[in-house]
Amino acid sequence: MWKEENNQLTRTFEFKDFREAMAFMVRVAFIADSMDHHPEWSNVYNKVSIKLSTHDAGNKVTDKDRKLAKEIDNITF
């Protein structure tokens, strides 16, 4: 579940292994790039942490972030 805190939407995803985590990141990258919206994220083995905020809006959460979060949630494995 996404949390809104410190002017960011945040969520950590956990996967079976590193390979599955990286596949998820690639899928997110294509979606984010097509929306011209690029997340701050990190990966450690099977966990991917994502932070979303809109830089053009002063690093605040906007509908653009909520839309990307929804698209990310639609990725299935």
Residue 31: pLDDT band by 50, 70, 90 thresholds?
Answer: very high
Question: So what's the pLDDT on residue 77?
Answer: 66
User: Model-level pTM greater than 0.85?
Assistant: yes
- In this structure, how many other beta carbons lie within 10 angstroms of the beta carbon of residue 15? 18
Residue type, 48: V
Residues 6+ apart with CB under 8 A from 16: 46
CB 39 within 8 A of CB 28: yes
Residue 76: pLDDT band by 50, 70, 90 thresholds?
Answer: confident
Q: Domains along the chain?
A: 3-73 (3.30.1360.20)
CA distance 58 to 77: 34
Higher pLDDT, 16 or 56: 16
State the average pLDDT over residues 54-62: 89
